[in-house]
Amino acid sequence: MDDLPTNTPPGAIAVRCVGVQKSFAAGETTVRVLRGTDFTARAGEMTFLVGPSGCGKTTLISIIGAILSADAGSVEVLGFDVRRARGGRLADFRLANLGFIFQQFNLLPALSAAENASLPLVAAGRSTRFGERAAAALLARLGLEQHLHKMPAQLSGGQQQRVAIARVLVHAPRLVICDEPTASLDAESGHTVMELLREVALAPDRAVIIVTHDTRIFEFADVIHHMSDGRIERIEGKSIAPSEAHA
Amino acid sequence: MLVVALRMLFGDATKCLGLVFGVALSTLLLCQQVSIFFGLLSRAASVIDDAPEADIWVMDPAVKTIEVPYPLRDTVLQRVRGVEGVAWAVPFFKASTQVRTRRGTLDNAIMIGVDDVSLVGVPDRFLLGTLDDLTLPDAIAINPAGFRLLFPGEELDVGRELELNDRRARIVAIVDASPAFSANLTIYTRYSLATRYTNNGRNTLSFVLAKAADPSTIAAVADRIAAEMGLKAVERATFRRETIGYILATTGIPASFGTVVLLGVLIGIAIVGLTFNQFVMENIRQYAALKAIGVRNGWLLAMTLTQAAFVATVGYGIGLAAAAGFFATAGQSDALRGFRLLPEVAVGVALLAGVIVLLATTVSLRRVFFVDPATVFRG
Ligand SMILES: Nc1ncnc2c1ncn2[C@@H]1O[C@H](COP(=O)(O)OP(=O)(O)OP(=O)(O)O)[C@@H](O)[C@H]1O
Ligand SMILES: [Mg+2]
């Protein structure tokens, strides 16, 4: 019971990073991207991570998402010590608990919208029929009931991103991580996608982390972490207790 | 997930076709060339195969192949007949000769002279005439391919006459001899006539064919003939193997076919490898996304192998069908007659096709395995 979590009470801390460090080798030298970064995200909230290009946002959420390993510090995601596990166990953890939304939608071009959205369920061993039924229900909630059997190439960017959201939410992950979800979209589609994300992805026991440059969508944030040069510099938002701002 | 793998493959029709085509091409090339190779080799032993009655071939100790006989003394025949355990022994004459075709050109022919009385050594596959017709004066039998060589465009027929070494020869029968290695025309006649039809005129005994009284003692009888007479006496299968071995050792045939086979494998690996690699490269973000979602490497391996298995199976099937079609149609011509798709070759090529596809996918598989799921976040 020490690793795979089953439940997160509302408002509980979903992600806690303390003193995370990460460097990349760049030829002869190493680039220190994260220099003891602290970061927290709560269930029931949309946590934004913003900052100038290259400050380490993607690196940080990759570590939180258990697809990149930190060099130092502690990373606890949904009560799971990500740094202690590796390989297959991490994959299982992601499959069971996490959902990713990317700037590039990364849909499989050969699969229809419904099939794409059913992938996490199918990968977790559910039947294709079960998966597609669940996916269809979600796609309908996201306003895509007319497009279930279309291929990604037949859909607009906003529609593809909605399929990607359905793919994430189909297995009800308790942490959704988005990197620039609206960067490839026009203002209106971006707005729609964010509204849907808020409506569908957010729940009292679910956390959403969004990395973005897009100031047009800041209004959807509960908390905004401003990052600069590998550290969180400033936190603004409704639910910040002063003690946490410098945890 | 395996269905997803196939859908990914079908989703890129061009590459899917390219992959299948690559395997099909290799399969066709390998099946065709290897079958022709074995066909050619067995042609070398056609004269031996067409005399299945003979258990033992007796020859000069220096002889290594039926293609190059050396004359034996006339007395050898009687002495072989006297060896214990020999049921019968007959003379067998084989030589190369030239015949003038109706167009006036010269062509190579295999002249086979068989025992005047028993006529052992003529295959029992008469299309026109009978074995007994060979006892008529000046009688010869020839094979259909030889007939078409001598009389292009004419229907198979008996009764025509030829001049062989200024002697009259009358075609009394058409016999379906196994295609030979060194000539398209095979002439069967009686031993006494054959020595006259070829230029030497002397009584030259190429081989003595012998039958063992007891089939279980063939090897022992052969050894006894060899020991008592200081000659070489071997079982039919041994002589067949030696004849084929001689071709393998002294001609460029194995090297040239070997090269083609190697090229077939390399072309297959190149086409399939490059195409598959490109396919994986184009889908690498998708693979990374699947990994990020939490699909384990084991599943990605299974998915890739499923794609490979599909390509291998369908490509092999198409290539095999094409090879079978080739032998069914081209195999009717005189030049390619007797060549057929050997089941052993089909099985062997199936394994090779599997190896080709596996080798070709290994590199791509590494990419899939080591793709960093974190790349999905990079633009
Ligand atoms: N795999 C890697 N190898 C080497 N350097 C890397 C790697 N990934 C990231 N970096 C470097 O780390 C730094 C931070 O990258 P990161 O992608 O986290 O920034 P970011 O805040 O997401 O920027 P952006 O807003 O442009 O997406 C950059 O200087 C980048 O070049
Ligand atoms: Mg980034």
- Where residue A81 sits, what CATH number does that domain have? 3.40.50.300
pLDDT at A76: 95
Would you tell me how many other CB atoms lie within 10 Å of the CB of residue B363?
13
Task: Please report whether residue A6 resides in a domain.
Answer: no
pLDDT at B213: 93
B218 and B84 in a common domain: yes
Asked if pLDDT for residue A181 goes beyond 50, the answer is yes
How many domains does chain A fold into? 1
Task: Please report whether residue B151 resides in a domain.
Answer: yes
B319 and B217 in a common domain: no
Task: Please report whether residue B226 resides in a domain.
Answer: yes
Q: Which residues, judged by CB distance below 6 Å to any ligand atom, belong to the binding site of ligand 1?
A: A 24, 26, 31, 33, 53-59
Which residues of chain A neighbour B374 with C-beta distances below 8 Å?
A: 62, 67-68
Asked if pLDDT for residue A3 goes beyond 60, the answer is no
Q: What is the pLDDT along chain B (379 residues), one digit of tens a residue?
A: 888 899 889 988 999 999 999 999 999 999 999 999 988 888 889 999 999 999 999 999 999 999 889 999 989 999 999 999 999 999 999 998 888 877 778 888 999 999 999 999 999 999 999 999 999 999 999 999 999 989 988 899 999 988 888 888 999 999 999 988 888 899 999 999 998 888 666 768 999 999 999 999 999 999 999 999 999 999 999 999 999 999 899 988 889 999 998 998 898 888 888 898 888 888 888 888 888 888 888 888 999 999 999 999 999 999 999 999 999 988 778 788 778 898 999 999 999 889 888 888 888 888 888 888 888 777 5
Say what the pTM is.
Answer: 0.78
B89 and B205 in a common domain: yes
HEC-encoded secondary structure of B329-364 = HHHHCCCCCCCCCCHHHHHHHHHHHHHHHHHHHHHH
Closest CA to A116 of A142, A78, A85: A142
B33 and B170 in a common domain: no
> What is d(CA A61, CA A73) in angstroms, rounded to the nearest whole number?
14
Substitution candidate for ligand 1 out of A21, A59, A209, A210 with most atoms within 8 A of CB: A59
Instruction: Tell if the CB–CB gap between B8 and A62 is shorter than 8 Å.
Output: no
pLDDT at A9: 66
- Residue B31 sits in which domain range? 2-44+252-377
Give how far the C-alpha of residue B50 lies from the chain's centroid of Cα atoms, to the nearest Å.
16
Task: Please report whether residue A82 resides in a domain.
Answer: yes
B177 and B111 in a common domain: yes
pLDDT at A245: 44
pLDDT at B199: 63
pLDDT at A10: 66
Q: Which of B177, B195, B230 is the last residue of a domain?
A: B230
Instruction: Tell if the CB–CB gap between B291 and A115 is shorter than 8 Å.
Output: no
pLDDT at A1: 39
Interfacial residues of B (vs A; Cβ cutoff 8 Å)? 1, 3-4, 7-12, 283, 285-286, 288-299, 372-374, 376-379
Residue type, B51: A
Task: Please report whether residue B351 resides in a domain.
Answer: yes
How many domains does chain B fold into? 2
Q: What is the mean pLDDT of residues A97-108?
A: 88
| Global ipTM | 0.81
Task: Please report whether residue A1 resides in a domain.
Answer: no
pLDDT at B109: 92
A20 at B interface, C-beta within 8 A: no
B153 and B102 in a common domain: yes
Which residues of chain B neighbour A104 with C-beta distances below 8 Å?
A: 285, 376, 379
Task: Please report whether residue A103 resides in a domain.
Answer: yes
B107 and B184 in a common domain: yes
Which residues of chain A neighbour B379 with C-beta distances below 8 Å?
A: 103-104
Task: Please report whether residue B56 resides in a domain.
Answer: no
B322 and B207 in a common domain: no
Task: Please report whether residue B372 resides in a domain.
Answer: yes
Beta strand segments in chain A, E = 13-26, 29-42, 46-50, 72-77, 80-81, 98-101, 175-179, 207-211, 223-228, 231-237
B182 and B85 in a common domain: yes
Task: Please report whether residue B166 resides in a domain.
Answer: yes
Tell me how far the alpha carbon of residue A245 lies from the centroid of ligand 2, in angstroms. Answer: 23
Phi-psi region of B115 (alpha: psi -120 to 50; beta: other; left: phi over 0): beta
A94 at B interface, C-beta within 8 A: yes
Q: What is the mean pLDDT of residues A81-89?
A: 85
Tell me how far the alpha carbon of residue A61 lies from the centroid of ligand 1, in angstroms. Answer: 11
Give A239's pLDDT tier (boundaries 50, 70, 90): low
B221 and B85 in a common domain: yes
pLDDT at B201: 63
> Whose structure tokens read 């909630």?
A141
- Residue A64 sits in which domain range? 13-108+157-237
Q: Which of B200, B230, B260 is the last residue of a domain?
A: B230
> What is d(CA B304, CA B4) in angstroms, rounded to the nearest whole number?
11
Instruction: Tell if the CB–CB gap between B8 and A88 is shorter than 8 Å.
Output: no
> What is d(CA B115, CA B263) in angstroms, rounded to the nearest whole number?
48
Protein residue with its CA nearest to atom 22 in ligand 1? A58
Between the alpha carbon of residue B216 and those of residues A238, B51, B54, B82, B255, the distances in Å are 102, 19, 14, 19, 38
Give how far the C-alpha of residue A152 lies from the chain's centroid of Cα atoms, to the nearest Å.
21
Task: Please report whether residue B51 resides in a domain.
Answer: no
Helix then strand count (H, E) for chain B reads 12, 10
B281 and B214 in a common domain: no
Q: Which atom of ligand 1 is nearest to the CA of A230?
A: 14
Task: Please report whether residue A206 resides in a domain.
Answer: yes
